[in-house]
Amino acid sequence: MAHDIYLNNTKIKVSQFNVELKEGKRLVSIVFPVTSEKYHDITTLLYQETFQLIVPQKEINTHVKIMKYYTSITNLYEENQVGEFTLQLIED
C-alpha cells in the first residue's frame, strides 16, 4: 500500500511501508522510487541522517535516524533512470 511520508518536510511517496518495534523503539522500513531528476535532492536529504518523520495515514510524528539504506542501481546521475531506495529508520 502506498503512503505519503514526510522527512523534514520533504514529501515522499513510498511503495512499501512497514513499522515494527525494536527494543521499544519504532523501526520504520520504506521503499520508494527515485528518478534521475530527484536523485540529487533525495540523496542530499538523506545525508542529513536524522529527520522529523511524519506519516499522516499512520498518525506518526517522531524523530528518527537512518539505520540502513541502499539503492537498486547506482547510475541515477544518468538521465531517464529510476531506482528503488530502501530505507530503515529508527526512532531517535
Question: For residue range 30-80, what is the model confidence (pLDDT) as tens digits?
Answer: 999 999 999 999 999 999 999 999 999 999 999 999 999 999 987 888 899
**What global pTM score does this model have?**
0.90
Q: Is the pLDDT of residue 2 over 80?
A: no
Q: What is the CATH number of the domain that holds 62?
A: 2.40.30.80
pLDDT at 1 over 70: no
Domains of the chain: total: 1
Range of the domain at 11: 3-91
Q: How much is the pLDDT for 35?
A: 94
Residue-wise DSSP of 18-66: EEEEETTEEEEEEEEEEEHHHHHHHHHHHTT-EEEEEEGGGTEEEEEEE
